[in-house]
């Protein structure tokens, strides 16, 4: 059976920038693994065998130079929902399929979005630093945050992740506005009590927290620039969990 | 009765002098004017508006405001802006000024505002305030006040429940998420001058769908449950008394009669009890050992609810995964305390209610209670001795 398992190219197992050992076990159930370094050391031996390229946090990069070494490649499977790091037309043009992992990332990402919003609003970082600072002798009274409960959250990009963020914010009785290329259904809106803002500017003006949850495309690159920031309240916070 | 010179413009453009007369009474100031007649110059004038009368009424009534003792502005005391709320209804004296000149103030003080347990409501202070009617505490916890003793002096005690709940529940969620998703470590890595590559091994704990055990399901505990529901968390709770079916259903919470069951099944254990003799040291070696090794303890109640030495040991040995604490004992911890250097501990300096909006609401409630007590009216948020 070992001989019949297809070969997959990955970055590396272990180390600071590779797969966790326990995740590599999932791969070895179905594949034989070649690390990127091993491929570069011996491309003639490994290259022709590889049918699958797994990309994790952008590595290995699916660039022409790499793909040229992989004549048998059938699919590029990228971990994560975002595909902005992949030249989709080019890869498809090579006869290679591309796969990503939407859905399964949504809860974790929405949780982190809320974690960032709350940590910023309630000054968790500063608080922790003061609490553990060797020089702290008194409790600080001036460390004041902003109220999250009842504030207005503006979600830019109401896909799966955006909708889950709205769901989490409901519990905090936040007023939820959203802007999306297309309006969501009435049921989707009512499920999370979100109000559609046809104009992004309206959302920016009214929100206490602006949450960016879009994919990176030519249409969204630089979506939030100087003008957009100047429309926001001086008391507002920008939270970005999409792409830099 | 006194008169103040004033000027009134006449239609012709000339100004003439009028005499403004105030009649003082307890309720308000009556204001009217009569013209001052100069030889050969008839005078017409208009009655002034009530704005002036209102202002003068205010100044006069200000003299009658009761006196209140408070800790201090700035430092460990109040923000400057919230003292305005107190000043609307009270003459206020800070503890330092009072201590330097007690004879001047002691007879006058009818209310004492306590914030962060300051000024300390000790017998030596209280017995020096013969006119004291009320000790109004900022915050809902009153474990630092000897309520039976203070009541025995004929002095009412009040706190500020309700207004603190949202901000404290928000804080509980902030701590839970920041700990679970390692926000502090992540930030430190992200801003570290030595970071050149994104670290891939910074792994956290899944919050969505995890089990949250809430110990203490009062107003704050219930609000924590409400927030957790949005994360599809499974919610268990333990309370002295079971909540109603509607309250449980509203947040999808299941009652654990036996606290041990909650400890065994929870991924996150959040403490939201008040500090009493029954809850002191509620979480000690035994309770921590019942928890999952992957579990996180979140404390937004009081430091003494947890046996801190037991907690240190549990964190060092991996008995539990992590702790996130807004409260410790004492506050702040001594600078050589092991909790300060453990990598799996997140500590914030008791900032559960630290937002401008909530702080203002707390002071408003304190003032409301104190004013009612001073006027002999029914006192909102009174804490009675058991």
The mean predicted confidence, pLDDT, of chain A is 94
Tell me what pLDDT residue B9 has.
Answer: 40
∠ Cα A183 A188 A191 (to 5°): 140
Tell me what pLDDT residue B317 has.
Answer: 98
Model pLDDT for residues B114-130, shown as the tens digit of each residue? 999 999 999 999 999 99
Compute the average pLDDT of residues B138-166.
96
Are A131 and B227 in contact (CB < 8 Å)? Answer: no
Does B363 lie at the interface with A, CB-CB under 8 angstroms?
A: no
Model pLDDT for residues B21-38, shown as the tens digit of each residue? 544 444 444 545 555 544
Min mean pLDDT across A191-195, B53-57, B343-347 is at B53-57
Rounded CA-CA distance A140/B257 in Å is 38
Out of A128, A137, A171, the one facing B227 most closely (by C-beta) is: A171
Model pLDDT for residues A178-198, shown as the tens digit of each residue? 999 999 999 999 999 999 999
Are B351 and A168 in contact (CB < 8 Å)? Answer: no
CA distance readout (Å), A214 to A161, A220, B196, B286: 9, 7, 26, 47
pLDDT reading at B16 higher than 90 = no
* Residue found by looking up tokens 């100069």 in the block: B38
Min mean pLDDT across A226-240, B167-181, B194-208 is at B194-208
Residue B217 C-alpha, separation from nearest chain A C-alpha, in angstroms: 16
pLDDT band at A19; cut points 50, 70, 90: confident
Q: How far apart are the first and last CA of chain B?
A: 52
> Chain B residue with minimal CA distance to A141?
B76
Rounded CA-CA distance B327/B311 in Å is 13
pLDDT band at B350; cut points 50, 70, 90: very high
Which residues have CB under 8 Å from B140's CB, separation 6+? Answer: B159, B160, B161, B162, B164, B165, B274
Are A128 and B347 in contact (CB < 8 Å)? Answer: yes
Residue B66 C-alpha, separation from nearest chain A C-alpha, in angstroms: 27
Model pLDDT for residues B266-310, shown as the tens digit of each residue? 999 999 999 999 999 999 999 999 999 999 999 999 999 999 999
Tell me what pLDDT residue A24 has.
Answer: 84
Q: Please report the residues numbered 302 through 331 in chain B whose beta carbons come closer than 8 angstroms to any beta carbon of chain A.
A: 331
Tell me what pLDDT residue B201 has.
Answer: 81
Chosen from B178, B190, B333, B357 to mutate, greatest number of chain A CBs within 10 A: B178
Does A13 lie at the interface with B, CB-CB under 8 angstroms?
A: no
Out of B116, B175, B200, the one facing A139 most closely (by C-beta) is: B116
Contact residues, chain A, for B189 at CB < 8 Å:
none
pLDDT band at B6; cut points 50, 70, 90: very low
Residue B218 C-alpha, separation from nearest chain A C-alpha, in angstroms: 17
**In terms of pLDDT, which residue wins out, A142 or A101?**
A101
Does B337 lie at the interface with A, CB-CB under 8 angstroms?
A: no
Does A137 lie at the interface with B, CB-CB under 8 angstroms?
A: yes
Tell me what pLDDT residue A114 has.
Answer: 98
A80 φ/ψ sector (left φ>0, alpha ψ -120 to 50, else beta): left
Q: Please report the residues numbered 173 through 232 in chain B whose beta carbons come closer than 8 angstroms to any beta carbon of chain A.
A: 173-175, 177-178, 180-181, 183-184, 187, 197-201, 203, 206-209, 226-232
Residue B200 C-alpha, separation from nearest chain A C-alpha, in angstroms: 5
Q: B311: closest CA among B300, B301, B298, A127?
A: B298
Run of H or E including A40: helix A36-41
Contact residues, chain B, for A115 at CB < 8 Å:
174, 177-178, 180-181, 183
Chosen from A155, A171, A192, A237 to mutate, greatest number of chain B CBs within 10 A: A171
Model pLDDT for residues A92-133, shown as the tens digit of each residue? 999 999 999 999 999 999 999 999 999 999 999 999 999 999
Are B184 and A146 in contact (CB < 8 Å)? Answer: no
Residue B38: count of CB within 10 angstroms of its CB:
10
Q: What are the phi and psi torsion angles at A215 (to 5°)?
A: -80, 160
Tell me what pLDDT residue A142 has.
Answer: 84
pLDDT reading at B362 higher than 70 = yes
Tell me what pLDDT residue B322 has.
Answer: 98
Min mean pLDDT across A113-122, A138-147, B6-15 is at B6-15
Model ipTM? 0.94
pLDDT reading at B42 higher than 60 = no
Tell me what pLDDT residue B368 has.
Answer: 98
Residues A156 and A135 sit within 8 Å (Cβ to Cβ) = no
Tell me what pLDDT residue A170 has.
Answer: 97
Rounded CA-CA distance B219/B273 in Å is 10
Reading the block at residue B151, the tokens are 């009541």
Tell me what pLDDT residue B63 has.
Answer: 60
Residues of B involved in catalysis: 302, 331, 350
Say what percent of chain B tops pLDDT 70. 84
Tell me what pLDDT residue B386 has.
Answer: 80
Model pLDDT for residues B56-67, shown as the tens digit of each residue? 666 655 568 999
Rounded CA-CA distance A154/A141 in Å is 30
C-alpha torsion A24→A28→A30→A31, nearest 10: 100
Half-sphere exposure of B326 (CA within 13 A, CB side): 26
Which residues have CB under 8 Å from B238's CB, separation 6+? Answer: B213, B214, B215, B216, B217, B255, B256, B257, B258, B259, B262
Reading the block at residue A19, the tokens are 């797969």
Residues A108 and B208 sit within 8 Å (Cβ to Cβ) = yes
Rounded CA-CA distance B371/B223 in Å is 30
Out of A114, A123, A130, the one facing B177 most closely (by C-beta) is: A114
Are A139 and B331 in contact (CB < 8 Å)? Answer: yes
* Residue found by looking up tokens 């969204």 in the block: A220
Q: Please report the residues numbered 138 through 167 in chain A whose beta carbons come closer than 8 angstroms to any beta carbon of chain B.
A: 138-150, 167
Label residue A207 exposed, middle or buried (CB < 10 Å: 0-12, 13-18, 19+).
Answer: buried
Tell me what pLDDT residue B200 has.
Answer: 78
Out of A112, A131, A173, the one facing B349 most closely (by C-beta) is: A131
Compute the average pLDDT of residues B370-380.
97
Compute the average pLDDT of residues B175-204.
94
CA distance readout (Å), B83 to B80, B245, B293: 6, 42, 47
pLDDT reading at B18 higher than 90 = no
pLDDT reading at A208 higher than 80 = yes
Out of B177, B230, B354, the one facing A118 most closely (by C-beta) is: B177
Q: How far apart are the first and last CA of chain A?
A: 44
**In terms of pLDDT, which residue wins out, B44 or B281?**
B281
Q: Would you call A116 helix, strand, or coil by DSSP?
A: helix
Contact residues, chain B, for A136 at CB < 8 Å:
332, 335, 349
Rounded CA-CA distance A231/A220 in Å is 18
């Amino acid at each position: 059976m070992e001989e019949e398992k297809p070969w997959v190219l990955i970055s590396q197992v272990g180390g600071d920038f590779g797969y966790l050992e326990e995740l590599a076990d999932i791969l070895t159930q179905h594949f034989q693994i070649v690390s990127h370094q091993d491929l570069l050391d011996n491309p003639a031996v490994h290259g022709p065998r590889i049918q699958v390229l797994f990309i994790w946090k952008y590595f290995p990069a699916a660039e022409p130079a790499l793909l040229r070494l992989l004549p048998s490649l059938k699919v590029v499977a990228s971990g994560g929902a975002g595909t902005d790091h992949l030249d989709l037309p080019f890869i498809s043009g090579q006869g290679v399929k591309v796969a990503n992992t939407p859905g399964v990332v949504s809860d974790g990402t929405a949780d982190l979005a809320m974690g960032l919003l709350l940590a910023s609003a309630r000054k968790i970082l500063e608080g922790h630093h003061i609490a553990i600072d060797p020089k702290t002798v008194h409790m600080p009274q001036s460390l004041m945050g902003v109220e999250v409960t009842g504030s207005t959250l503006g979600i830019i990009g109401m896909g799966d992740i955006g909708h889950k963020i709205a769901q989490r914010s409901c519990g905090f009785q936040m007023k939820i506005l959203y802007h999306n290329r297309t309006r969501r259904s009435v049921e989707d809106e009512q499920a999370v009590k979100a109000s559609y803002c046809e104009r992004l500017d309206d959302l920016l003006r009214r929100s206490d927290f602006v949450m960016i949850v879009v994919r990176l495309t030519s249409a969204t690159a630089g979506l939030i620039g100087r003008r957009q920031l100047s429309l926001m309240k001086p008391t507002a916070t920008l939270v970005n969990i999409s792409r830099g | 009765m006194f008169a103040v010179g004033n000027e009134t413009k006449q239609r012709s453009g000339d100004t003439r002098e009028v005499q403004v007369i105030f009649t003082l009474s307890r309720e308000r100031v009556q204001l009217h004017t009569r013209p001052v007649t100069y030889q050969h110059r008839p005078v017409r004038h208009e009655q002034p508006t009530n704005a002036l009368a209102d202002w003068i009424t205010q100044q006069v009534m200000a003299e009658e405001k009761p006196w209140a003792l408070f800790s201090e502005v700035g430092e460990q005391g109040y923000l400057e802006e919230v003292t305005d709320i107190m000043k609307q209804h009270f003459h206020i004296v800070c503890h330092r000024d009072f201590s330097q000149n007690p004879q001047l103030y002691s007879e006058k003080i009818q209310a004492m505002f306590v914030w962060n347990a300051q000024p300390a409501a000790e017998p030596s202070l209280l017995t020096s305030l013969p006119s004291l009617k009320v000790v109004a505490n900022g915050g809902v916890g009153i474990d630092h006040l000897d309520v039976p003793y203070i009541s025995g002096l004929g002095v009412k005690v009040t706190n500020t429940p309700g207004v603190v709940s949202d901000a404290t529940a928000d804080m509980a969620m902030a701590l839970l998420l920041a700990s679970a998703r390692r926000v502090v470590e992540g930030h430190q890595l992200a801003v570290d001058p030595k970071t050149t590559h994104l670290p891939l091994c910074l792994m956290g704990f899944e919050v969505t769908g995890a089990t949250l055990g809430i110990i203490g399901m009062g107003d704050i505990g219930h609000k924590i449950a409400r927030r957790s529901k949005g994360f599809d968390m499974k919610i268990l709770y333990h309370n002295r008394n079971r909540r109603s079916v509607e309250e449980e259903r509203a947040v999808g919470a299941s009652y654990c009669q036996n606290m041990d069951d909650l400890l065994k099944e929870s991924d996150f254990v959040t403490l939201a009890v008040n500090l009493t003799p029954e809850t002191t040291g509620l979480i000690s070696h035994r309770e921590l050992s019942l928890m999952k090794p992957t579990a996180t303890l979140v404390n937004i109640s009081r430091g003494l609810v947890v046996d801190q030495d037991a907690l240190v040991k549990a964190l060092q040995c991996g008995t539990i995964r992590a702790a996130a604490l807004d409260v410790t004992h004492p506050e702040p911890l001594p600078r050589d305390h092991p909790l300060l250097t453990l990598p799996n501990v997140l500590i914030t300096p008791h900032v559960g209610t630290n937002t401008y909006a909530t702080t203002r609401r707390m002071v408003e409630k304190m003032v409301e209670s104190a004013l009612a007590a001073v006027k002999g009216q029914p006192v909102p948020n009174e804490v009675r001795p058991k």
